[in-house]
Amino acid sequence: VTPAAPVGLSLRDTVRAADAGSAEALLHATGFFREEEVAIGRELIDETVARGAATGYSFLFADRADGSLAGYACYGPVPLTESSWDLYWIAVDPAEQGRGIGRWLLEECERRIAAAGGDQVWVDTSGRDQYAPTRGFYQSAGYTVAARLADFYAPGDAKVMFVRRLVPDGRIPREG
Ligand SMILES: CC(C)(COP(=O)(O)OP(=O)(O)OC[C@H]1O[C@@H](n2cnc3c(N)ncnc32)[C@H](O)[C@@H]1OP(=O)(O)O)[C@@H](O)C(=O)NCCC(=O)NCCS
């Protein structure tokens, strides 16, 4: 069952050329992504517009009634694994963080991953203090820290790898 949408938002999984600019602006506005990361986030959309599903990237966009973007997520199967999937990006407009949009997008990604036969969702994040709310977000959604790679991104900036195991039939038990 698709989780209920936050008021005023609708979910879209088709990628449009205009999403590249909207996503770039949104990633930039969060203040969480370096310029190179923003550029890569944009490129993934441009590439998906050009090549379609062959890229291996799937997107979920949370659209406002006026068509503007409140948040989005990008995910896909991890190449050369049997059933591991990566959540590559998730971002919510800072003006609307904390009202359940991120959780809604994440749960819908998980539902679709499970329906496609995925049984683990992996997500990398940073160990920096700025990312404490992000880590709290994943933890509250049932993710656990699988590994912490010290100094991975830069001296003092660890990579923290979270994982959530999904049950095979697509039902995703969650406490609370
Ligand atoms: C991380 C992010 C996607 C979460 O989206 P969001 O819409 O703000 O989160 P939600 O409102 O859906 O929060 C869901 C749950 O996460 C937890 N959570 C959210 N913000 C939190 C915070 N600042 N501290 C601790 N837990 C937090 C809460 O438990 C919340 O549940 P609750 O509503 O019952 O309290 C969003 O804040 C964001 O875009 N952050 C900047 C970019 C980023 O860090 N992206 C991930 C890169 S790896």
Looking from the CA of residue 134, the nearest atom of ligand 1 is 1
CA 103 to ligand 1 centroid distance, Å: 7
Among 137, 143, 157, the mutation site with the greatest number of ligand 1 atoms within 8 A of its Cβ is 137
pLDDT at 1 over 80: no
* pLDDT tens digits along 102-159: 999 999 999 999 999 999 999 999 999 999 999 999 999 999 999 999 999 999 999 9
What the block records as the tokens of 28 is 């930039």
CA 98 to ligand 1 centroid distance, Å: 6
* pLDDT tens digits along 25-64: 999 999 999 999 999 999 999 999 999 989 999 999 999 9
CA 158 to ligand 1 centroid distance, Å: 20
How many angstroms separate the CA atoms of 129 and 146, rounded? 19
Instruction: Give residue 5's pLDDT band: very low, low, confident or very high (50, 70, 90).
Output: confident
Q: What residue owns the CA closest to ligand 1's atom 24? A: 133
pLDDT at 68 over 90: yes
pLDDT of residue 47: 97
What the block records as the tokens of 118 is 């995925």
| Adjacent-strand bridge partners of 162 | 123, 145
pLDDT of residue 167: 73
CA 117 to ligand 1 centroid distance, Å: 26
pLDDT of residue 172: 56
Pocket lining for ligand 1, CB < 6 angstroms: 30, 32, 90-92, 97-103, 125, 133-134, 136-137, 140
pLDDT of residue 4: 82
In what side-by-side order are the strands of the sheet with 120-126? 9-12, 58-64, 69-77, 84-92, 120-126, 157-165, 144-154
- pTM: predicted TM-score of the whole model, two decimal places: 0.93
Looking from the CA of residue 123, the nearest atom of ligand 1 is 48
How many angstroms separate the CA atoms of 37 and 81, rounded? 25
The CA–CA distances, whole Å, from 98 to 6, 19, 137, 146, 153 equal 11, 23, 10, 25, 27
Nearest to 15 by CA among 58, 54, 56: 58
Please give the full DSSP string across 120-149, using - where no structure is assigned: EEEEEEE-SGGGHHHHHHHHHTT-EEEEEE
Please give the full DSSP string across 23-63, using - where no structure is assigned: HHHHHHHHT-S-HHHHHHHHHHHHHHHHHGGGG--EEEEEE
